[in-house]
Amino acid sequence: MTHRGSRVLHVGSLSRVEGEGALYLGVRDGTVTEARLKIYEPPRFFEALLRGRSYTEPPDITARVCGICPVAYQMSACAAIEDACGVDVGPVIRDLRRLLYCGEWIESQSLHIYLLHAPDFLGRAGAIELARTHRAEVERGLRLKQAGNALMELLGGRAVHPVNVRLGGFHRAPSRTELRALTEDLRRALDDAWATVRWVSGFDFPDAHVEADLLALAAPDTYAIESGTPTVLRADGSRDSFPVRDFTERVRETHVPHSTALHSRLDGRLHLTGSLARFAIGGARLSEVARQAAVEAGLGDPYSGAVCRNPFRSIQVRAVETLYAVTEALRIIAAYEPPERPYVEVPPVAGVGHGATEAPRGVLYHRYQLAADGTVTSALLVPPTAQNQGAIEDDLRRLAQQAISEHDPDDAELTDLCERAIRNHDPCISCSTHFLDLTVVRTSGRTQGGGHD
């Protein structure tokens, strides 16, 4: 097949990747010469929209960046602005924020596991086809997602683009009775989360290995979600950490010709953020229940420093994280005492603030510069998918090369492999139209051109 000259493939509706993108894969005499994940959606200008706004507005405005992970944007915005203003909201509000974030983790991770990723392992085109053959499993995933949505609705006011979050805390804090009313559903969700770990652990996982450095937040006493210190686990096993304020000194964004999304490098190297990175860096801080689930899943003992670098097994790590989020939600609810006030005052201060939280897809960094009256004079948002783009391309290149070297797959099989490789990382290209076009150009001898539409 490597002697068939130039070939062009088009994959027109990959509905299980969020947003519009294209992949260009160049193969010359059996060697993958280039893999480019093209992002061609127009810029959304959220950073420009934030300039000139009041410092109280970014939590509501940035929540509109993503309909699946709005809490991540709200929490990073709050963290950065409160950092600029020198305000600590205190333990009760921090716990409520963590609880809200647990709701987002549960709903987002279960959506990815059941509706986006599992069909790849079971030979189904999508969630509808999966429901025809695995109805009970899909219903279980929807129950899990609803448990997360219920937390978001109570704490955030609604499940999509929550409206109850504000700078300094919440407009309204729930009562103990309201929160504890969710306990029964969360206990059922705990059973569903355990069943999810066991279900996905029965899938067949191709051999693969991510070479990129791993980046995640780390906290001294807990698995980092809503706060933490950026920590790097390099491919050689060495680690280091740096303050959130140094994020843009270590993670540099650049334009690339084939994408409207910026590409990032960590200290000049490819890096990956997300579930695999969190498990590798912070796994020792998982709950005992989550640790047991990881061991049972075959991921190794995170308390002993287990690291998983197989991107196909990321679905298992997400299942363990979903289980963790449910146990964490139950823990916070059991100990909850309503605060005297649902928020603390955040007076405006001229300065720069930095904040980072762990969206389900990885580290999400915000930076804001404020004038003395609280006007936002500059804003910077660095989402996890933009950081992961280079590592995804490297992953695609190596997986495609491995497949071609081992058994020279036909174009249909190679296309399927590339689609799966992209979905392993659950990229959020945007929250609009969903499809991927794949272009594979095969040449023998003289380089030939390929097309894409």
List the one residue out of 263, 267, 266, 247 whose CA is nearest residue 255: 263
- Cα-trace Rg, the chain: 22
Give tens-digit pLDDT for 217-266.
999 999 999 999 999 999 899 999 999 999 999 999 888 777 767 778 99
Could you give the CA distance from residue 159 to residue 154 in angstroms, rounded to a whole number?
8
* Sign of the torsion angle spanned by Cα atoms 314, 144, 325, 354: positive
- Centroid of chain to Cα 128: 24
pTM of the predicted structure, to 2 decimals: 0.91
Q: Which residue has the higher pLDDT, 296 or 7?
A: 296
Residue 237: count other Cβ atoms within 10 Å of its Cβ.
Answer: 8
Residue-averaged pLDDT of the chain: 88
The per-residue pLDDT for 7 is 40
At 96, which helix (H) or strand (E)? helix 91-111
Two structure tokens written together for 78: 């709050």
Q: Which residue has the tokens 């200008």?
A: 45
Q: pLDDT tens digits, residue range 167-224?
A: 999 999 999 999 999 999 999 999 999 999 999 999 999 999 999 999 999 999 999 9
What pairing do the DSSP bridges indicate for beta strands 20-28 and 435-443? parallel
Q: How many helices (H) and strands (E) does the chain have?
A: 15, 14
Render pLDDT for 75-85 as a digit per residue (tens, 0 to 9): 999 999 999 99
Between the alpha carbon of residue 65 and those of residues 49, 59, 204, the distances in Å are 12, 11, 35
Position 112 pLDDT exceeds 50: yes
Give 120: exposed, middle or buried? Use CB within 10 Å, 0-12, 13-18, 19+. buried
